[in-house]
Amino acid sequence: MAGNNTKLSPRQKMINLMYIVLTAMLALNVSSDVLNGFRQVEEGLGRTTSTAAVRNDALYQQLADFNEQNPEKGGVWYNESLELREQTSKLYNYIDSLKLLIARKADGKDADLKNIKSQDDLEAASYVMLSPSMRHGGRLRESIDNYRTYVSALMPDSVKKATVEECLSTKVNTRAEQINPIVWETTLFENMPVVAAITILTKMQSDVLYVENLALNTLITNIDASDVRVNKLDAFVIPNSKNIMRGSKYSANIVLAAIDTTQVPNIYIDGKQLPQSHDGLYEVVCGSTGVFDFTGYLEVPHGDGTMTRHDFSSSYTVVEPSATVSATMMNVMYAGISNPVSISVPGIPNNAVQATMTNGTLTRSGDLWEARPTTVGEDAVITVTATIDGRSQTVATTAFRVRRLPDPTPYIPYKDANGQEQHYKGGKPFSKGLLRGATTLGAAIDDGLVNVTFNVTSFELVTFDQMGNALLEKSEGANFSKRQNDAINRLSRGKRFYISNIKAIGPDGVPRDLSPIEVIVN
């Protein structure tokens, strides 16, 4: 023994010492008061474990709150915490089940972990943990090994990683004179009294929660580990373009930029480094027309000493003065209605710009134009001329496809709680109180691109009696008739009725047969 220089971890020393003490106690046939002392140790560990669980729950909530505030930054670490909680709970609950199995083996199926009667039973723990039929000791060792490997992978810090390895170690330090190796579970549970075995398992649960706490703190630290440290904030206005045509919009992104004046990033554009004296300003002389692309990247130092590369690409267009013709409402024109069109020539006043259109009429309305094509399927061609230096010249010719105005969607108009008009289009429950207030049926195209109102000329209301027979009531015009309103009032919650054979006419003068509405009474 004097020549044994094997170094043991404090945890292993404690386990070995406990095993020696328990063996000596058994040899001396100690009193039940001593075993009750182990019970008190187990209860103390239980209180410590409960406190650790509460502390860890607070850290989980901290990660969840940050993920809710900034999911892009905290999402990856929050998801890691969910996996950590699942793995920890799985191992913790397994150890809990082993404690109950040992207690039931000693006291029977009605065993109470808080009041174990056969505290000095030497067979229960050995049977549950070591017997070939149960073999929970080997399974526990494998579970701890897997959990230790999983948590260690979350620890970039070598000191914390070593702490995890030591705290959850399942290695057994054997003496040189030992011929047969002793497995970890045998050293802990062979001939071990029930109260001592349960105390050891509670200590393992405490170790698991301690390691979980280390991992949670690491995840929280990782949220800000790769942040760029800054010492200056500046506001910048980044316009999409500084050259704006009359009648169009000026748009710009107003951003808050954070920089570190002590560590200016290196900027490379098309393989060449931008001088740091330019403070990130890129300028180029535009000597010809066309589209010009450029790419580059920034090298940014981080707080943890690492350097990251951020690629970027952009382009700019150099053009000669030209005219632009665009439909402000849609990419096509619809026959029979007025289609707003914006026509302008950069550098030329509006009163010097003229335009004509084939397949319809084109009229000026203030600073805008209204195109009203006539024939569906035939392109409408807009030709723009401008008076430049006293001479009229054609500057652009643009063709638009002409389509028939699509069918509208029927709806029942009603007022919401704020007094705003809403449109019920069927397919979901509709309050009977709102139904009683409905007086008309409307129809419109209101998809955000085209907003056109149609006039409903007639429709039919179909309800069903108790025998399932269809009852039909007709209406002339857009208003619900008295008979239709009476039929609706007779319907109870959950019943359905249909508004069908809807006929409407729009501004293009074309009669339409519209799709029916299914109304579910709520």
Cα end-to-end distance, the chain, whole Å:
86
> CA 397 to CA 70: how far, in whole Å?
50
C-alpha radius of gyration, the chain, whole number: 40
What pLDDT is attached to residue 438? 87
Say if CB 105 and CB 193 are below 8 A apart.
Answer: no
| Residue 93 vs residue 265, higher pLDDT | 93
> CA 250 to CA 243: how far, in whole Å?
9
Q: Is the pLDDT reported for residue 358 higher than 90? A: yes
> CA 10 to CA 14: how far, in whole Å?
6
Q: Is the pLDDT reported for residue 265 higher than 60? A: yes
Average confidence (pLDDT) over 478-484 = 92
- Paired tokens of 484: 């239709």
What pLDDT is attached to residue 388? 73
> CA 141 to CA 148: how far, in whole Å?
10
Average confidence (pLDDT) over 279-285 = 78
Please state the φ and ψ torsions of residue 400, each to the nearest 5 degrees. Answer: -120, 140
What one-character DSSP code corresponds to residue 261?
T
Burial class (CB in 10 A: 0-12, 13-18, 19+), 301: middle
Q: Is the pLDDT reported for residue 482 higher than 70? A: yes
Look over the chain and give the mean of its residue pLDDT values, rounded to a whole number: 81
Widest Cα–Cα separation across the chain: 122
Average confidence (pLDDT) over 242-258 = 57
Model confidence pLDDT, tens digit, residues 416-450: 888 888 999 998 999 988 888 889 999 998 876 67
Specify the pTM.
0.43
Q: How confident is the model at residue 1 (pLDDT cuts 50, 70, 90)?
A: very low
Q: Is the pLDDT reported for residue 502 higher than 60? A: yes
Task: Please report, rounded to a whole number, the percentage of residues in the chain having pLDDT higher than 70.
Answer: 77
Model confidence pLDDT, tens digit, residues 306-342: 678 888 888 766 655 555 565 555 568 999 888 889 8
Model confidence pLDDT, tens digit, residues 165-213: 999 999 887 654 455 668 899 888 888 888 888 888 988 898 999 999 9
Model confidence pLDDT, tens digit, residues 139-164: 999 999 999 999 999 988 888 899 99
Task: Give residue 209's identity as a one-letter amino acid code.
Answer: L
Q: Is the pLDDT reported for residue 2 higher than 50? A: no
Give the 3-state DSSP-derived string for 400-442, with helices as H, strands as E and coil as C: ECEECCCCCEEEEEEECCCCCEEEECCCCEECHHHHHHCCECE
Average confidence (pLDDT) over 83-98 = 93
